[in-house]
Amino acid sequence: MRIRALISALLALALSPVPAAAQHAFPEAPRGELGIRYWLSSGESKRSHDARAASPTVGNPSTVLTYENLDANSVELLARVRIGQTLFLKGNAGVGRINIGTAVEQDFALGQLPAAESVVQIRSGQLGYFSVDAGREWIILERGRTVLGPFIGFGYWREEVEAFSGDVKVVSTKTSWSALRIGLAADLLLGPYTRFALDLALVPYAEVREEEGPRNIVIEGRRGAGVQVDAEVRYMLSARTEVRVGARYWHLDADDGTREAPGSSFPLVELASVRSGLTFSLRRVW
């Protein structure tokens, strides 16, 4: 209820009219900012392969392993620095814990007929990520009411989970994504103390590596793609301190690669990771 009340209050401020005398509440061109962000999220990860080369009676995909409802909490540090009049560097780094989830493995026969299915529970996991971007700002309209900043950068995203059947650990998986980011950062003045911030990054290329034990399976995916989006409402608490409430969505997908296991090698059909949720941050600008 408190979160809903805070979001409602920020939306009311965002939709309030902007008095002419209050348009300078936010610094027009801050040199930098430093902050901390909490991310409450849920995720899903799916991988599948084609084993028809070994058995013509199986389908394509032959096996689909899905980790779903991966609820997590993470905390990150973030920073942005202005270089000269128009250039900027920005980045973030976060770590967190995956609390619960479910692992579902499905085997398919020819014609994609279900052949077998197993379901186990995920009891623990870890989440880590960082990104670094460089870009250039353009101020649209007078007095910094709208700021646009195209950027290019690099992002890394890693998740580790452990699944159990009863008290026995049956699978552990480490999935690591490396991604090229090309995007746009936008900042729009909405009210005397309120702004809307959008960070949209398209991923034209990504690589993924997954290690699964105890079956000693390694998946390597290439030519992946996806999108990473952060949208936040900013509210100024004081002259240099602001709070932000927003939403984040990440989706990366690779369909070119291999699945290597002892004595076998099969083409990858797909490896996709999705994570989304609410963000809450506190920042200091100067």
pLDDT digits (tens, 9 = 90+) for 60-90: 999 999 999 999 999 999 999 999 989 999 9
* Omega before residue 214 within 30° of 0, cis: yes
Question: What percent of the chain has pLDDT above 70?
Answer: 89
**pLDDT at residue 266 is higher than 80:** yes
pLDDT confidence tier of residue 146, bands split at 50, 70 and 90: confident
- Lowest mean pLDDT of 10-24, 48-62, 103-117, 268-282, name the range: 10-24
**pLDDT at residue 24 is higher than 80:** no
pLDDT of residue 5: 52
Contact between 250 and 226 (Cβ < 8 Å): yes
pLDDT of residue 15: 45
pLDDT of residue 25: 64
pLDDT confidence tier of residue 20, bands split at 50, 70 and 90: very low
**pLDDT at residue 11 is higher than 60:** no
pLDDT of residue 10: 44
Distances (CA, A) of 54 to 62, 106, 120: 11, 18, 27
How much is the mean pLDDT over the chain?
Answer: 90
Q: What would the two tokens of residue 271 be? A: 């490896």
pLDDT digits (tens, 9 = 90+) for 31-42: 899 999 999 999
pLDDT of residue 195: 93
Structural domains of the chain in order of their starting residue, each with its CATH number: 2-285 (2.40.128.90)
208-217 average pLDDT score: 96
| Better-scored residue on pLDDT, 164 or 253 | 253
116-130 average pLDDT score: 95
Q: Which residues contact 229 (CB under 8 A, 6 or more apart)?
A: 198, 199, 200, 201, 248, 249, 250
pLDDT of residue 85: 87
Contact between 115 and 107 (Cβ < 8 Å): yes
pLDDT confidence tier of residue 27, bands split at 50, 70 and 90: low
Nearest in space to 161 (alpha carbons), one of 151, 169, 153:
169
At which residue do the structure tokens 């998986």 appear?
A: 173
**pLDDT at residue 179 is higher than 50:** yes
46-53 average pLDDT score: 97
**pLDDT at residue 21 is higher than 80:** no
257-286 average pLDDT score: 97
The whole-angstrom distance between residue 120's C-alpha and the CA centroid of its chain comes to: 25
pLDDT of residue 192: 85
Contact between 124 and 169 (Cβ < 8 Å): no
Q: What would the two tokens of residue 29 be? A: 């061109």
